[in-house]
Structure 1
Amino acid sequence: MSDHPDSTATQNVISAARATDRRTQNEKPSTILLNSSDDVLIALRAIAVGETVSDGVVAIDPIPAGHKIARRRIDAGTAVRRYSSVIGVASATIAQGEHVHVHNLGMSDYSQDSNTFGQDVRPTPLASVQRTFNGYVRADGRVATRNYIGVLTSVNCSATAARMIADHFKGRLANYPNIDGVVALTHKSGCGLDARIDGIEALRRCIAGYAAHPNFAKVLMIGLGCEVSNLDGVLGGSAGDALVIQQSGGTAATVRAGIERLEASLERANNIQRTPVPASELKVALQCGGSDGYSGISANAALGAAVDLMVAHGGTAILSETTECYGAEHILTRRAVRREVGEKLAARVKWWDEFAASHGMEINNNPSPGNKAGGLTNIIEKSLGAMAKGGTTNLVEVYDYAERVTEKGLVFMDAPAFDPVGATAQVAGGANVLCFTTGRGSAFGCKPTPSLKLASNTPLYQRMPDDMDVNCGTILDGTETIEEAGTRIFDLILATASGQKTASERLGYGEEEFSPWDKGIML
């Protein structure tokens, strides 16, 4: 079934969320109507049976907060709309006031209309005054937001040695205040896989991208010596500071040598100061995890407004999570600056559809139990809300997993929707700040890149205050507009890039979350 909205649809998710802006602080409705053509209302709080809500609808089921309630009778087999877009088909007749969810809303077939590629491309508004942040400028001109020393591994077999080296420096950097820490980023792969498969190439791109990341003042590579993903393959034969356990006298000797090399680098790494740089040097990764029914209309929409501001300043935003484009990729392909850019994204979504089918799965398995408990019924509904993170500007390029990002503006990187795997790719691509929206509550960090956590609702922000940086529930509460929240997020991105610590940094997150995508069959 092909049932995409008309050419103005690319604004539907953002404009639907802005419906909340029209409420005054004195009005506390129980539901939101996102678009006049929608078949459902969204519950702003738990609604009891018999309660009258917007449009005179009487709830005939208990409706949990964030979930959908039918505005009118919907016959079985009829398309159901949210954001003025089809999110599925009624699998049974739904009465007015009934709870709309997995028990009565099924997936709809859809087809991408190739004739719409690029039809919504518009000139990008430019900021009249260029904002700045205080970053570290490396000798080669790369701009950093943090100043770490990294210990990376080519294979899991060298992970213990790498951690021993990094652990030596814990509590020993008091005389080096400009160094954020020595971190070991290890993984569970690197061998037992065919050297020709995509998974090995993805791993090599990840490690090479981290090795070249501006947020590292120094990187030491640790290998075993007989692995498939050896250091020469990762570094491409280029000169790099590396130790190979089998060639260095074993584990203890490698650890001693690694500590000596890093100790010799501390003074130089510490000898750097922050200086003002333009906001155009920002590369911000966009992630969402633990999403709920509010994510697409508060946190994601507010982050999208911040992205529009950042792109207007010449910065870069990296949207990802290809499996959360499914059924909503038209929102981006219609904004593709060139047809081949839109076709590249459509091809990646098709690859994922075929990849899932080849393993006896379907992409609609994507919404997690937590997503569903939060009100998201299927992948199309989830995708429509997820796309709001990308704002409204043009899509300028599509990148492979962990590929280096060179274009300015809104870009897309192919990756799974599992947050550590996707964020690892974005950081490998050069992201120097990460923004992570959540509705259910997610615990995450991504060293060496600082990660900001945006809560979709006020109860979450109040329930997990040590994990959340931004409360976007103000939009649902009617105390702030999406534009105001977006400006607040953009300001916080600049402050974070200037050195202000995030919640996840204060908690110590960011090393265990390094997770390159392993696509292969382990032999």
Structure 2
Amino acid sequence: MKDQDLIVLHDDDNVAVALRALEADAFVDLNGQRLRVLSPIPAGHKLALRDIAQGAQITKYRQTIGIALRDILAGAHVHVDNVGMPSQHDTEARAYATDTGAVPAKRADTFLGYLRADGQAGTRNYIGVIASVNCSATVCHAIADAFRGDALDAFENVDGVVAITHQSGCGISSAGEGMAVLRRTLTGYARNPNFASVLFVGLGCEVNQIEGLVDLLEASSSRPVRTLVIQDEGGVRDAVARGVAMVREELHAANRATRAPVPASHLKLGLQCGGSDGYSGITANPVLGVAVDLLVRSGGTAILSETPEVYGAEHLLTARAVSAEVAQRLMDKLHWWEGYTEQNGGEMNNNPSPGNKAGGITTILEKSLGAVSKAGSSALKAVYDYAEPVREDGLVFMDTPGYDPVSATGQIAGGANLVCFTTGRGSVFGSKPVPTIKIATTTALFERMRSDMDFNSGATIDGSLNVEEAGARLYDLILEVASGRKTCSEENGIGDREFIPWLRGAIM
């Protein structure tokens, strides 16, 4: 229910969301009743629809998002000063319902992609220069920088040469969890269909030896993989010169690749939200959810992630898991995160950032309920570890932190060839070699950051589109971007520094 001032998401909710900034002592009309606003309420924030007693549940989306820390009067601002987390969040009671609903008819959509020999399809055609260790990062960037400007003018089918560098690769155990995750991430990038070929660059004496990476790739990648060791080349200058020559050789082969129609089932879409606000769960995330359902109907894959940001909404996912085993695997991941945050002196409700709270989000429960809506309504088919290769089609989940660059890095390592990123505060993000579509929650944000936002979901509260119509338009944009249309982040040159693996284990 919506009027020009407020939106009530469900009749059972005891809060509404302000569609514009409301002044104290103003009156709002809802269902023919006038309600006096008791204090200033920013746009996107919550207003109490009726008196809420201390200890009572605060409900939004017909779900509990917190409890009242004190009596809250109708018309009051409902936010961090009067809302807290329940004393205990039950992550078991509503699991394993396995209600996946009716399956709609299949679609047969296509996009123009780069079909690879291993059966995958790229949405872009890059060459990657991948560091095995931080010690080779500068050399990787120097090699990639040699192909900026007009250096690729003769190679019209190549999108660029990108350096993939990080802060690890040595000072960790060769057999520990940290090394396993790092190697899985690096080899996952090398297998990503948006790379025509890759060059691994190492120092020579690091723990993460290049030979080990190549051994992991040989059985699973059909694309060219070349190697370069700085110490074997005689130092930085010689290594850069040799690397530039090697990439130049690969450019000729990469340029022979051309776009051709391929089924949309080849799309693996990473789902991200960052800089969320009070509108994220009302506009951008539900709109993306509609697009996800359309992609799934075409046989494609959508990867939901950011495990700490499904905490409090996990029952909405386990209720449509295809099996009790899939539901339990998701619950196991959440329990791990509860212990992980506690060991490090934190709590799961620490997740909403200052920007999230300024935008109207009060608790992690509220944030998660909005975040999960970007997964649409399809059945949850699998749960993957961080950077694990995604082999199932349909909706899947990957265990990642909520920190966007780390989460997207895991998805791309898992095979995502396109990312959709919803934002309410205005995140600027790119993720070479994978294009990122940024989706604004409001028209005001879309207009204010027009050079960074690709899609305006604010039309759903402005009244020009409903959620289903906006989702269908977003899905069309996804196919266009997959076919080569540049995103704002690509036009802005963003994406060369956003590779951030999840660093695990002891640094020694």
* Aligned residue among 327, 336, 344 for 1:359: 344
Q: Distance in 2 between matches of 1:90 and 1:200?
A: 45
Contact 1:120 1:335 (8 Å CA) reproduced: yes
Give the TM-score taking structure 1 as reference length.
0.93
Q: Distance in 1 between matches of 2:389 and 2:98?
A: 28
User: Which residue number corresponds to residue 331 of structure 1?
Assistant: 316
Which of 132-141 and 225-234 deviates more?
A: 225-234
Give yes or no for the alignment of 1:57 onto 2:35: yes
User: Which residue number corresponds to residue 216 of structure 1?
Assistant: 195
Q: Distance in 2 between matches of 1:65 and 1:511?
A: 35
Give yes or no for the alignment of 1:368 onto 2:363: no
Give yes or no for the alignment of 1:35 onto 2:35: no
Deviant stretches of 4+, over 6 Å: none
* Aligned residue among 66, 73, 91 for 1:112: 91
Using the TM superposition, give the Cα deviation of residue 118 of structure 1 relative to its aligned residue in structure 2, in angstroms.
Answer: 3.6
User: Which residue number corresponds to residue 195 of structure 1?
Assistant: 174
Give yes or no for the alignment of 1:280 onto 2:265: yes
User: Which residue number corresponds to residue 410 of structure 2?
Assistant: 425
Q: Distance in 1 between matches of 2:181 and 2:217?
A: 18
- The aligned amino acid for 1:203 is L
What does the per-residue CA deviation read over 1:210-268, in whole Å, with 9 as the maximum and x for residues that have no partner?
11111111100001122122212323365541111122222122111111111112111
Q: Distance in 2 between matches of 1:31 and 1:238?
A: 54
Give yes or no for the alignment of 1:243 onto 2:222: no
Change (3 A) 1:369 1:238: closer
Q: Distance in 1 between matches of 2:246 and 2:135?
A: 21
Using the TM superposition, give the Cα deviation of residue 114 of structure 1 relative to its aligned residue in structure 2, in angstroms.
Answer: 4.9
Contact 1:118 1:337 (8 Å CA) reproduced: no
- The aligned amino acid for 1:143 is A
Q: Distance in 2 between matches of 1:314 and 1:238?
A: 26
Q: Secondary structure at the match of 1:152?
A: strand
Q: Secondary structure at the match of 1:57?
A: strand
Contact 1:162 1:184 (8 Å CA) reproduced: yes
| Alignment RMSD (CA, Å) | 1.2
Q: Distance in 2 between matches of 1:173 and 1:136?
A: 18
- The aligned amino acid for 1:301 is P
Contact 1:126 1:313 (8 Å CA) reproduced: no
* Aligned residue among 114, 119, 139 for 1:136: 114
Which of 285-294 and 241-250 deviates more?
A: 241-250
User: Which residue number corresponds to residue 205 of structure 1?
Assistant: 184
Give the TM-score taking structure 2 as reference length.
0.96
Q: Percent identity?
A: 52
What does the per-residue CA deviation read over 1:424-474, in whole Å, with 9 as the maximum and x for residues that have no partner?
000010111100000000010001010000000111001100000000000
Using the TM superposition, give the Cα deviation of residue 288 of structure 1 relative to its aligned residue in structure 2, in angstroms.
Answer: 0.2
Write out aligned runs for 1:258-407 (5 A). 258-407=243-392
Q: Distance in 2 between matches of 1:253 and 1:373?
A: 51
- The aligned amino acid for 2:499 is F
User: Which residue number corresponds to residue 101 of structure 1?
Assistant: 79
Contact 1:298 1:456 (8 Å CA) reproduced: yes
Change (3 A) 1:168 1:194: same
Change (3 A) 1:84 1:54: farther
User: Which residue number corresponds to residue 501 of structure 2?
Assistant: 516
Q: Distance in 2 between matches of 1:396 and 1:327?
A: 20
Using the TM superposition, give the Cα deviation of residue 199 of structure 1 relative to its aligned residue in structure 2, in angstroms.
Answer: 2.3
- The aligned amino acid for 2:182 is L
Contact 1:396 1:411 (8 Å CA) reproduced: yes
Q: Distance in 2 between matches of 1:52 and 1:336?
A: 44
Using the TM superposition, give the Cα deviation of residue 194 of structure 1 relative to its aligned residue in structure 2, in angstroms.
Answer: 2.5
Q: Secondary structure at the match of 2:161?
A: strand
Q: Secondary structure at the match of 1:295?
A: coil
Give yes or no for the alignment of 1:154 onto 2:132: yes
User: Which residue number corresponds to residue 170 of structure 1?
Assistant: 148
Using the TM superposition, give the Cα deviation of residue 399 of structure 1 relative to its aligned residue in structure 2, in angstroms.
Answer: 0.3
* Aligned residue among 434, 438, 442 for 2:427: 442
Using the TM superposition, give the Cα deviation of residue 126 of structure 1 relative to its aligned residue in structure 2, in angstroms.
Answer: 2.5
Q: Distance in 1 between matches of 2:43 and 2:216?
A: 55
Q: Distance in 2 between matches of 1:196 and 1:237?
A: 14
Q: Secondary structure at the match of 1:453?
A: strand
Q: Distance in 2 between matches of 1:151 and 1:270?
A: 17
Contact 2:281 2:373 (8 Å CA) reproduced: yes
Q: Distance in 2 between matches of 1:138 and 1:85?
A: 45
Q: Secondary structure at the match of 2:272?
A: strand
How many residues are treated as equivalent by the alignment?
497
Q: Secondary structure at the match of 1:53?
A: strand
What does the per-residue CA deviation read over 1:161-205, in whole Å, with 9 as the maximum and x for residues that have no partner?
111111111121101100001111111111112233322211111
Give yes or no for the alignment of 1:468 onto 2:453: yes
Q: Distance in 1 between matches of 2:188 and 2:458?
A: 35
User: Which residue number corresponds to residue 232 of structure 1?
Assistant: 211
Using the TM superposition, give the Cα deviation of residue 111 of structure 1 relative to its aligned residue in structure 2, in angstroms.
Answer: 1.0
Structure 1's unaligned 5+ residue stretches are: 1-18, 21-27
Q: Distance in 2 between matches of 1:246 and 1:123?
A: 59
* Aligned residue among 378, 399, 404 for 1:414: 399
- The aligned amino acid for 1:290 is G
User: Which residue number corresponds to residue 125 of structure 1?
Assistant: 104
Q: Distance in 1 between matches of 2:370 and 2:216?
A: 43
Q: Distance in 2 between matches of 1:81 and 1:71?
A: 11
Q: Secondary structure at the match of 2:152?
A: coil
Contact 2:98 2:324 (8 Å CA) reproduced: no
What does the per-residue CA deviation read over 1:47-73, in whole Å, with 9 as the maximum and x for residues that have no partner?
011111243221001000000000011
